[in-house]
Amino acid sequence: MSDTIIVEVVLKNKKSQLESTVQECVLKYFKSNPISPGCIIKTFPNDIILRDLVECIIIDDVPESQENFIDFSFFKIHWYIYTVNYSKPMVQNEYSSDGEINIATHLVLPNADLTNSWENLYFDNDIKDNLLKYAHTMMKFSDNGIDGNVVTCNKVILLHGPPGTGKTSLCKALSHKLAVRMQERYHSGLFIEVNSHSLFSRYFSESGKLVTQMFSSIRDVIENGNILVCVLIDEVESLAHAREQCLSGVEPSDSIRVVNAVLTQIDQIKRYPNVLILATSNLTKSIDLAFIDRADIKQYLGLPKVPAIYKIYVSCLQELQRVNILDNNVKFEPLSTILKINLDNLNEISRKLLEICEKSSGLSGRALRKVPFISHALFCNADNNSVWDFLIAMDKAVEKEKGDR
Ligand code: ADP
């Protein structure tokens, strides 16, 4: 059993000299309030200092033995106290005779837009934990200058699986998490999402030049070794597809040069110790791209099963409770309790929710997160905040979602 628990405290302002005061107040808060595992605390009704200084507290998942409320006296706490950046994504446009083209989007890390993103992704196994460990090891090996000919470490992670299963979100969340967890090594981070679609959506003769421009601006950032740079190539199959079309003579040979330029540039930038390359693909068959062949990690993300569905639905229902759309006196049982108790002994809310989760098998995470919206829009009386009635509406919304597919 792990004896360390990770507590992240997101500060409102940079006041590092107050870190010990914050730690003391957080510990006092933990003693007087029951804290459940994997939770995010955003309000501090009885604590003026925390209310003044802290945006939120994030408690990492903890061992099963602490399923309901955490007894902090059992654990050594590993603190991450930090501020987030509030800047919005910046679009990198380049100009060609075809007009202005959005070729990449930059986001400074850690970013307020991604604060809860990691905690709000639920999978049926240890994918998140393992990815974080892999990424940590890659960055450490690279930082220490390990010889890649002796110990293979390509710094490329590929997530693949059906659409809507959280691949892009997980890449962003992982980058944010790394920027937080590696803050002693990197004083900030940058997430760069390459818009591969825009590079190949049409024929333009200057695209080779655009690719070079894009990567030279990426390189300007990477040269500063104190910045962690995560580059995402979303739907990487569009590169492979463009190349296949060139080879079969369907597309002009110009775009093969673009694809090759992108691949060469990626190969070059990943040699920098502070760079991590992330790629996603909706294809399950192999992709003919050398840098993907050499990915250190190829992780499949499948459709969520009942336990992950339950967690996704509970997070949605709790959000509706937080904003008073649903009665917030109803408490949802944690998954670990649900799995242990005999069905007959569950209360009717939990039983109904479990039944809806089973019915929802086959839907992607994206479709599941839409179910509460459809339920409210189509199957609810707007003035009714009853959780039970909402579950009945969700049941109908799931049927509709499945029927529409
Ligand atoms: P993909 O890149 O696989 O197409 P996205 O990352 O774009 O999927 O996910 C779409 C939406 O669905 C996001 O809002 C995400 O939060 C939600 N989602 C997908 N999978 C999950 C999951 N396993 N847990 C929670 N939310 C999920």
Q: What is the ipTM of this complex?
A: 0.99
Burial label for 287, CB within 10 Å (0-12, 13-18, 19+), is buried
Ligand 1 centre to CA of 124 (Å) is 14
The conformation of residue 67, written as its DSSP 8-state character, comes to: -
**Residue 203 neighbours by CB under 8 Å, 6+ apart:** 251, 252, 254, 255
Taking CA atoms only, the protein residue closest to ligand 1 atom 18 is: 365
CA of 312 to the centre of ligand 1 (A): 10
Per-residue pLDDT tens digits for 373-385: 999 999 988 788 8
Name which residue sits closest to atom 23 of ligand 1, judged by CA. 122
- Whole-number Å distance, alpha carbon 276 to ligand 1 midpoint, is 21
Tens of pLDDT along 107-159? 999 999 999 899 999 999 889 999 999 998 988 888 888 887 788 888 899 99
Ligand 1 atom nearest to 234, measured from its CA: 2
Please tell me the predicted confidence (pLDDT) of residue 1: 47
Mutation to probe ligand 1, out of 113, 117, 165, 176 (largest number of atoms < 8 A from CB):
165
Residue ranges lining ligand 1, Cβ < 6 Å? 120-123, 163-169, 280, 304, 308, 312, 365-366, 369
Nearest CA to ligand 1 atom 14: 366
Global confidence as pTM:
0.91
DSSP letter for each residue of 298-334: EEE-----HHHHHHHHHHHHHHHHHTTSS-TT--PPP
Pick from 23-27, 252-256, 343-347: least confident? 252-256
CA 246 – ligand 1 centroid, Å = 32
CA 122–ligand 1 middle distance (angstroms): 9
What does the pLDDT read at residue 252? 59
Give the residue whose CA is nearest to atom 9 of ligand 1: 166
DSSP track, 157-226:
EEEESSTTSSHHHHHHHHHHHHHHHTTTT-SEEEEEEE-HHHHHSS--TTHHHHHHHHHHHHHHHHTSTT
CA of 168 to the centre of ligand 1 (A): 7
* Ligand 1 center to 368 CA (angstroms): 9
Paired strand residues for 78: 6
Average pLDDT, the chain: 86
Per-residue pLDDT band at 256 (split at 50, 70, 90): confident
Q: Residue whose CA is closest, atom 11 of ligand 1? A: 366
Residue 183 CB neighbours (<10 A): 16
